[in-house]
Amino acid sequence: MVERTPLRILYIGDAVGKAGRAAIKQLVPLLRNELRLDAVFLNAENIAHGRGITPSTIEDVEAAGVDFCSSGNHIYDNADGTEYLKRKDAKVLRPANYPNDSPGRGWASIEVGTKRLLLINLLGQVFVNKETSNPFHRIDEILKQHSLDDHDAVIIDIHAEATSEKQGLAWYVDGRVSAVVGTHTHVPTADLKILPKGTGIVADLGSVAAYESVLGFGIDRVIERFITEEKAHSLQPVESGRVDFCSVLIEIDPGTGKTVSMQRIDRSVQV
């Protein structure tokens, strides 16, 4: 029996604003060395002051060692970020089940050393107020053209509110992709498992955000919004202090495309 070295992929949860970027700059170079990582992926939809992306914020995390980013429902919150997505060299995905004429792309083939990995981004429909096509139908369409037959690994980021939708998608694609990671709630889940046909699943990676916050944003303003039900004022991310860094290490057999191991990699740093 031929033994193959697994691909070691670190997938980082939603990074929120300046504090999230600072934690990534501190930790990703260390983790790449400590964990012998082949690639690092990140959900970046909140990276620019809590909403959307900008070219400079993506350049920041790239310089720290992030190879590629996925996103979600806030991807178009910054005009500069929307323009960035139109670039051929953009290292950020938008949800693939947005309308086809939306700026950017919903999947990408990425070279990881000598291996080829397919990264796909989807947006859930349950409790998410966005006009999207059904993610289950969309993933079928994508996998008919791009699959494990021509990639060493396939990973999906399903950005969704309902854990049932994220877990359901993983069971639906079991054996057709290597792993499904969930994002959006900013709260890490403990449901890591490998399904019978080899697909790994975690319902939510969590986030890279201030500890003294509500999902990365100022506590008082969030509470005020709940009490008054007034959504007119904007939320501001917490920019300093302790930051919790949430991620999952996924090991994938490049010969079969199956996940062989998953474990949480969660750290805290001061920024």
CATH classification at residue 163: 3.60.21.10
Residue 169: give the domain boundaries: 7-270
**Contact of 200 with 193, CB cutoff 8 Å:** yes
Q: How confident is the model at residue 61 (pLDDT cuts 50, 70, 90)?
A: very high
Can you tell me the distance from the alpha carbon of 46 to that of 85, in angstroms, rounded to the nearest whole number? 15
89 contacts: CB under 8 Å, gap ≥ 6:
none
What's the rounded mean pLDDT across residues 26-45?
98
Residue-wise pLDDT for 184-197, tens only, equals 999 999 999 999 99
In this prediction, residue 4 carries a pLDDT of: 79
In this prediction, residue 130 carries a pLDDT of: 75
Q: How confident is the model at residue 3 (pLDDT cuts 50, 70, 90)?
A: low
Is 159 a known active-site residue?
no
What's the rounded mean pLDDT across residues 53-80?
97
3-state helix/strand/coil string of 57-75: HHHHHHHHCCCEEECCCCC
Residue 129 within a domain:
yes
Number of structural domains in the chain? 1
In this prediction, residue 233 carries a pLDDT of: 60
In this prediction, residue 158 carries a pLDDT of: 98
Residue 13 within a domain:
yes
Residue 186 within a domain:
yes
Residue-wise pLDDT for 216-248, tens only, equals 999 999 999 899 877 756 789 999 999 999 999
SS3 content of the chain, % helix, strand, coil (to 5): 25, 30, 45
Q: Which of 49, 74, 184, 186 is catalytic?
A: 74
Please name which of 40, 49, 64 lies closest in space to residue 236, comparing C-alpha atoms. 49
